[in-house]
Amino acid sequence: MKIGLLVLHIYIPGCSSLKEKRRRLKPLLVRLGREFNISVAEVDYLDKWKDALVACTLVSNDHNHVQKSLNKVPHWIEKHWPDVDVVDDQIELL
């Protein structure tokens, strides 16, 4: 069994409140879960208006599948969600 963890630092320009941040971030998290069949959650920077640390996890029996799937996530965000910026991404395989 292979477990993949992708941690994304996302910058959301133009947010002026936590309520607005949640309104813009929640649809992205739901869409990522559906699009890639992964578990997604905001895990840090909860009190910052313009930053979010998002964790994505995937479990599979194939190491290559985990690696390829998680590598696609940041590129997909940049292509399909132009109003947010991926500042950093890190993948860990367990």
What is the pLDDT at residue 46?
87
Helix, strand, coil content of the chain in percent (nearest 5)? 40, 35, 25
For residue 30, what is the domain's CATH number? 3.30.70.1120
Tens-digit pLDDT profile for the chain (94 aa)? Answer: 899 999 999 999 988 899 999 999 999 999 999 999 999 999 999 889 999 999 999 999 999 999 999 999 999 999 999 889 999 999 999 8
Distance (Å, whole) CA 32 – CA 63: 20
How many structural domains comprise the chain? 1
Give the residues across from 93 on adjacent strands: 4
Helix (H) or strand (E) holding 43: strand 39-44
Q: Residue 34: how many CA atoms within 13 Å on its side-chain side?
A: 6
Distance (Å, whole) CA 50 – CA 11: 6
Q: Provide the residue range defining the domain that includes 7.
A: 2-93
